[in-house]
Amino acid sequence: MEFTDISTSLDKNRGTKLFVDRMIFLIGFTINITQIFLGINISVSDVFMIFLIIFLFFTNSIYLTKKTTMYFILLLILRFFSTMQISSWLNISISFMPIFITLQKFLISLLYFILFISVLTINPKIKDIFYKGLKYGTLILGTVSVLIYFIGPAILRSVVLFGGIRMRGFMNDPNYFAYMQICGFCVWYLKVFKRKITNLLAIVIYPTTILLSASKTGLIVFIIMLSILSIEKIFKKRLSPAKLATLFLLISGSLALFYIFYDRILTSLLTFTQTVPQLERIHIVFENFSGAITEGGSGRIDAWDTAYKLIRDTHFMGIGFMDYPIVARVVSGSPTIAHNTYLQLAVEWGIPFLIIGFIFFTKNFFAKLLHKQYMEVSLSIVTVLFSFGVSLQNSRILWIVLAILFYKFDKKVSNNYDIL
């Protein structure tokens, strides 16, 4: 179908626009509340997402690019084909319920992608409303989690803690919680609150929640993003030569002192981390960086080896909509997932679609970087880095970031969009 003018009734109707804006804000806020129910990963934001998708459908405001539509149609066909062929590749029987759950996860993710492509087509500035909701959600729910951790009753502590130790907030997993908090931190760092007291709270809450999550991947990504954003902010200020020289001397002096007193600093740091259960888990990051990925209970080497076997045994076409843990048990005897988004996608989607998708991602990432859209760039970097240590393929915010990254507001290319 041909593309119609973006200035639709949705954009003209102030009341409707306000409704859509509030729904997007609520999605950004409640995406931080996710739990497992009957084996299905459910988020409070799903309610607002589905409601808004239905609303856009009945107002003829669902948009997708032709290339994106074709990509996902072909991906669905391939995954269904791989699902039907899996019995001939591996000694495993097909069961309806695991396939249904896997398909549900993928469709929910795809709906988030379609929703944000559509609302961005109607109003490109709506992404700022989502960022605002994400920023408030991560800070407020992070603050509540910290308060419960220190002064809350045991019944509430069991909600925000995983295994009685690691903070997971209102998410179902500490690593996902750390991922969300780092995303919120990036949004806040690039666009701080107006009130100083709120910014002071953010300075305390974001590092605290990330540390208490005891996520080794989270700590590494947080340090990297803090460094990148700090460097970006320094260059953005366009300091005078004198101030740049002073800054250079301060950094050089700090690095020199760190090198001289490295052993003493490391000993003190390790002693401190071992006094707190959550920090004791991540002290390996400081003591043995490479071991932080493969040791300390992660077991990632075995999980990655299983993923390689599945990729090979399915002839690089993936397992389709079969349940990953069930298939992994057949190959390795352990229902361990890849703990790596790229390997997980290679196993589930197949190598060809992973490569094509990554090419599209890289192209759009550098386009945003050249246009200095640092919010999208920062969230993309967080996702790319986190994906090496955590499986994020069904993470809702990942698909929202992809939608924002892939969307291009340019009247010259508006005919690339179709109304569904």
Please determine, for residue 205, whether its predicted confidence score (pLDDT) is greater than 70: yes
Q: How far is CA 382 from the centre of its chain?
A: 7
Q: Is 240 left (phi over 0), alpha (psi -120 to 50) or beta?
A: beta
Same domain, 99 and 136: yes
Identify whether 415 is part of a domain.
Answer: no
Identify whether 2 is part of a domain.
Answer: no
What is the percent of the chain with per-residue pLDDT over 90, rounded to a whole number? 45
Sign of CA dihedral 139, 144, 148, 151: positive
Identify whether 419 is part of a domain.
Answer: no
Average pLDDT over residues 315-335: 86
Identify whether 214 is part of a domain.
Answer: yes
pLDDT at residue 166, rounded to an integer: 87
Q: Are 174 and 215 in contact (CB under 8 A)?
A: yes
137 vs 243, higher pLDDT = 137
pLDDT at residue 296, rounded to an integer: 47
Question: What's the pTM?
Answer: 0.86
Tokens for 299, please give them: 């077991």
pLDDT at residue 115, rounded to an integer: 95
CA count, 13 A, side-chain hemisphere, 192: 13
Overall residue count recorded for the chain in this entry: 420
Q: Residue 267, exposed/middle/buried by CB under 10 A (0-12, 13-18, 19+)? A: exposed
Q: Which domain holds residue 286?
A: 260-295
pLDDT at residue 15, rounded to an integer: 75
11 vs 106, higher pLDDT = 106
Q: Phi then psi for 140, rounded to 5 degrees?
A: -65, -50
The helix (H) or strand (E) run that includes residue 189 is helix 174-190
Packing angle, helices 351-370 and 341-349, rounded to 10:
130
Same domain, 312 and 386: yes
pLDDT at residue 273, rounded to an integer: 55
- How far separated are the first and last CA of the chain, in Å rounded? 8
For 269-278, what is each residue's pLDDT tens digit?
556 555 666 6
CA pair distance 25, 47, nearest whole angstrom: 13
Same domain, 287 and 150: no
Least trusted range by pLDDT, from 34-43, 252-261, 263-272: 263-272
